[in-house]
Amino acid sequence: MNEFWFLLAGVLLVAIAVLGRLLDRLPMSPAMIYLVVGFALGPAAFDLLELHPMRELVMLETITEIAVLIALFTVGIKLRVPIGDWRWSVPLHLATVSMVVTVLGIALAAMVLFGFAWGLALALGAALAPTDPVLASDVQLRSPKDRDALRFGLTGEGGLNDGTAFPFVFLGLGVLGLHETGFLGWRWLAVDLLWSTVAGLGIGFLIGDGLARAVRWMRARKREVVIFDEFLLLGVIALSYGAALAVHGLGFLAVFAAGLALRRADDIHADSRVASRKPPLTPSMLNVNEQLERIVEVGIVLVVGVMISTGYWSAAGLALAALLFFVIRPLAVWAGLIGTPPDQAQLRLLGWFGIRGIGSVYYAVFIAGYEIDFAQAEQLLSCVFTVIAASIVVHGISATPLMDIYQRRIARRRRTAVVSDKQ
């Protein structure tokens, strides 16, 4: 039987490599193929693989945690816009105001329409609130040189809200009596929300910036020093994540901030008069990280497909997905971006492309392993897997044509602006 799995893995990986360019031009994402393959492997089709998340919680939490960390570091390196630039206002508003509205919208829908207990509904809202920095590749920044405002907003949001959702997970668990929130929620507000956010961002930024300075110092003293970028990037991720967790900070935000600091330090050094002749760190680190990101995307989406095939889906999840995509997300984006720069076309696309994925899998598994009732855990997991599968299909089909229309509109505006300038 082992030879079958090797053959399957080989065929799938070769197909992805060969058909990658073709898929870029079709209304289809690679994740859709992984999802279908995973579903076909499960009991609902060929019955070659059966997965029950409650039996594999530790494995799933570990794999998805690593996947989110790799993705967040990649996003941090991609974001080349200087801190303080006006373009940061969009992802910051999306990852704070819009995310809170999303959490509350999902929680209210789950409680009122589907009978979830309030604490479980709040935890579900927090699990589904983050947008995905991996599956959203079609609408993300294509490279660090990409300055498109829409892509920057969606990419930055995906980097930030995977961390800012964690306090709301703890709030839901607190309502369920499984996490200490303090009298009138003071501990949650002071520690889980304020301190953990500041500590995570601060520690990650200091570690990323400090390591960048240390590498430049080593290269300046000895020009032939060899830096293994692969080990350095894994070391930065592990160090920033571990240091943040050690002081009860948000580790996901720390990893994102570390990538951001490394990119900032590289750019500042490249612009300086004493720039080293050695190549910068971040381009090669970004290349390695993007390859790792694709590998974990294949594995996790396959797992989601198998679990849907095993029976972990629900009608409530489908209804919640429709509400999230067509009502809650657009309203949350509108509420969060009142008075900010995006025009109406960008606002509509920001409201549509709230893609759910790997971060939501991690949060759902994390919550399920927190000693909640078994039936409640299965209910939550089924809802989350259903919403993710729906997002992969719906957003995967719409991403290419909608972004093509958007790019053509941007190109027309530029041509019109050039003609106006000449006149």
Instruction: Give residue-wise pLDDT tens across range 2-17.
Output: 566 677 777 777 776 6
Residue 80 covered by a domain: yes
**DSSP category for residue 111:** H
Residue 229 has pLDDT above 80, yes or no: no
Average pLDDT of span 60-84: 87
- Tell me if 31 is assigned to some domain: no
- Residue 39: the pLDDT is 94
Range with the poorest average pLDDT among 247-261, 291-305, 316-330: 291-305
**Average pLDDT of the chain to the nearest whole number:** 84
Task: Please indicate, yes or no, if residue 21 is contained in any of the structural domains.
Answer: no
Q: Containing domain of residue 173, as a range? A: 58-130+148-294+312-422
Rounded to a whole number, what is the distance in angstroms from the first to the last CA of the chain?
71
Q: 370: which DSSP letter?
A: S
Check whether 301 has a pLDDT greater than 70: yes
pLDDT band for position 276 (50/70/90)? very low
Integer Cα distance of 264 and 11 in angstroms: 40
Q: Which residue has the tokens 């991403």?
A: 399
- Residues with Cβ within 8 Å of 370's Cβ and at least 6 positions away in sequence, in order, are 173, 178, 179
The letter for the amino acid at 315 is: A
CATH code of the domain in which 100 resides: 1.20.1530
Whether 306 is covered by a domain: the verdict is no
Confidence band for 331, pLDDT divided at 50, 70 and 90 = very high
Task: Calculate ∠ Cα 253-297-61, nearest 5°.
Answer: 60
Residue 30, pLDDT above cutoff 50: yes
- Is it the case that residue 355 has pLDDT exceeding 70? yes
What is the mean pLDDT of the segment spanning 45-57?
88
Please check whether residue 123 lies inside any domain of the structure.
yes
Q: Are 385 and 312 in contact (CB under 8 A)?
A: yes
Query: Pick the residue with more confidence: 419 or 295?
Result: 295
Q: Is the pLDDT of residue 272 over 50?
A: no
- What's the pLDDT band for 86 if we cut at 50, 70, 90? confident
CA distance 248 to 202: 12
When pLDDT is averaged across residues 211-240 and rounded to a whole number, the result is 74
- Residue pair 61/363 in contact (Cβ under 8 Å)? The answer is no
In a domain, 1, yes or no: no
pLDDT given at position 344: 80
Q: Is the pLDDT of residue 313 over 80?
A: yes
Instruction: Say how many CA atoms lie within 13 Å of 280 toward its Cβ.
Output: 17
Exposed/middle/buried for 17, CB within 10 Å: 0-12, 13-18, 19+? exposed
Given a cut of 50, is residue 311 above it in pLDDT? yes
- Structural domains of the chain, count: 1
- Domain membership of residue 75 (yes or no) is yes
| pLDDT surpasses 70 at 417 | no
Residues of the chain with pLDDT > 90, as a percent, come to 45
pTM above 0.75, yes or no: yes
Mean of pLDDT values over 189-206? 95
The mean per-residue pLDDT over the stretch 322-351 comes to 89
* Higher pLDDT, residue 365 or 291: 365
Mean pLDDT of the region 68-93: 85
Q: 297 or 385: which carries more pLDDT confidence?
A: 385
Considering only CA atoms, which of 276, 271, 265 is closest in space to residue 221?
A: 276
Q: Does residue 421 carry a pLDDT above 60?
A: no
Residue 204, classified by CB atoms within 10 Å of its CB into exposed (0-12), middle (13-18) or buried (19+), is: buried
Which residue type occupies 387? Answer: V
**In angstroms, what CA-CA distances link 278 with 148, 211, 283?**
29, 16, 12
* Residue 328 belongs to a domain: yes
Class of residue 45 by CB neighbours under 10 A (exposed 0-12, middle 13-18, buried 19+): middle
